[in-house]
């Protein structure tokens, strides 16, 4: 018997027709210096690394806890560039502010940072999210729509993509023909694909009156796994939309738009 989604989970299968909540853009002055040459206050580097607040960073500096290029720095107001090596307790700190961006990916965009053969990439959609160089966490196929997270936080990205963390993902699947109850139960029990056994964490019909629409919850990060599950059973996926990723939803985020994560969302991702 198939596992049913809870009310909150099932609610994710509604179409996204809400208005844009994209953050306002800020006009920034162009610097005559190259990004690699820009000077940043040392306490800001420490704060951006998530060690503490700027005020607390000043205390660390005065106490001789911070070294720059092997030299202990105790003067407040000291500035460094991204080329300098800043170390606190044997940990190298990044001068870049951590950025977390959520995109509702439209169809036709390739999930890649740099592909000369791709006409449209997801990076074009988030190019105004800031000066920091961000990367997509995982990937969505060119024809798959839905939630895609970007960040420059390598530790969090690794946590969200590693199979051992089992981050929940929910997809809204549109099929070419009605999905049989027996096949639904089979997906829940598990099937054997060419690269191993796979079972859904949960699966149900999105609308009991439309058997061509299925909601599937899965945590596997295998390539094209959802499409391959249904293809194995003789179905063709007409449309595929990721509506839930690691606790994040598409609420108030129209297709093709992005937003910054809230502090609460960032904290949840790091703690869960």
Active-site residue, selected from the candidate residues 16, 58, 63, 141 = 141
Pair 104, 253: CB distance under 8 Å: yes
CA distance 119 to 108: 9
For residue 9 the two structure tokens come to: 């989970």
Q: Which residues of 87-125 are buried (b: 16+ CB within 10 A; e: fewer)?
A: ebeeeebbbbbbbbbbbbbebebbbeeeeeeeeebbbeb
Measuring CA to CA, how many Å separate 232 from each of 58, 224, 235?
59, 12, 7
CA-derived radius of gyration, the chain? 22
Total residue count of the chain as it appears in this document: 272
CA distance 161 to 80: 33
Secondary structure class of 211 (helix, strand, coil): strand
CA distance 203 to 198: 13
- Is residue 241 annotated as part of the catalytic site, yes or no? no
Backbone angles phi, psi at 256, to 5 degrees: 85, -5
**Helices marked H in the chain — which ranges?**
7-10, 42-48, 54-62, 154-161, 181-189, 225-232, 263-271
Element (H, E) at 207: strand 202-207
Q: Catalytic site residues?
A: 141
């Amino acid at each position: 018997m198939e596992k049913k989604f809870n009310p909150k989970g099932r609610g994710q299968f509604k179409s996204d027709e809400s208005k844009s909540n994209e953050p306002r853009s800020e006009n920034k002055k162009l610097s005559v210096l190259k990004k690699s040459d820009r000077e940043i206050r040392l306490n800001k580097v420490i704060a951006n690394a998530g060690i503490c607040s700027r005020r607390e960073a000043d205390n660390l500096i005065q106490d001789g806890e911070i070294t720059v290029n092997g030299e202990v720095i105790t003067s407040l107001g000291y500035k460094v560039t991204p080329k300098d090596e800043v170390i606190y307790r044997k940990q190298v700190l990044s001068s870049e502010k951590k950025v977390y961006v959520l995109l509702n990916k439209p169809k036709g965009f390739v999930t890649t940072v740099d592909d000369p053969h791709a006409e449209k990439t997801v990076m074009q959609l988030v190019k105004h999210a800031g000066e920091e160089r961000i990367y997509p966490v995982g990937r969505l196929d060119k024809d798959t729509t839905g939630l895609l997270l970007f960040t420059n936080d390598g530790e969090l990205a690794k946590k969200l993509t590693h199979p051992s963390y089992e981050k929940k993902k929910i997809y809204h699947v549109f099929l070419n023909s009605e999905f049989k109850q027996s096949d639904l139960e089979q997906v829940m029990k598990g099937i054997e694909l060419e690269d191993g056994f796979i079972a859904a964490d949960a699966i149900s019909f999105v609308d009991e009156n439309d058997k061509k629409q299925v909601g599937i919850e899965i945590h596997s990060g295998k390539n094209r796994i959802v499409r391959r599950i249904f293809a194995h059973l003789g179905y063709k996926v007409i449309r595929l939309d990721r509506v839930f990723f690691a606790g994040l939803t598409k609420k108030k985020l129209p297709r093709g738009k992005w937003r910054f994560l809230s502090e609460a969302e960032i904290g949840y991702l790091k703690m869960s």
